[in-house]
Amino acid sequence: MAGALKYIVDDSGNKTSVLVPVKLWEDLNSNYEKLQAKLAILSGLRDGLAEVKKSKKSGKKMQTLKEFLK
């Protein structure tokens, strides 16, 4: 496999570092950034739904979407 990972080992044969081809590294970073953005969105939705649930339990009146958009 061209561009495979290369491991650096110590005198005991334990892996200490890894060399990653640049293209693979860029792809991994790009995917990581996309996943971080998705996680932020999903976390925001989860927190918002938890807030709505908590408000319903406590009887607190929440702002409607129409009110929010004004």
pLDDT at 64: 85
The predicted model gives 1-25 an average pLDDT of 91
51: alpha, beta or left? (left if phi > 0; alpha if psi -120 to 50)? alpha
pLDDT by residue (tens digit) across 16-58? 999 999 999 999 999 999 999 999 999 999 999 999 899 888 9
pLDDT at 2: 57
Alpha carbon 39 to its chain centroid, in Å, reads: 4
Q: Where are the domains of the chain?
A: 22-55
| DSSP letter, residue 62 | -
H or E element at residue 7: strand 6-9
Half-sphere exposure of 54 toward its Cβ, with a 13 Å CA cutoff?
A: 6
Q: Is the full-model pTM beyond 0.85?
A: no
pLDDT band at 3 (very low <50, low <70, confident <90, very high): confident
Residue 1: pLDDT over 60: no
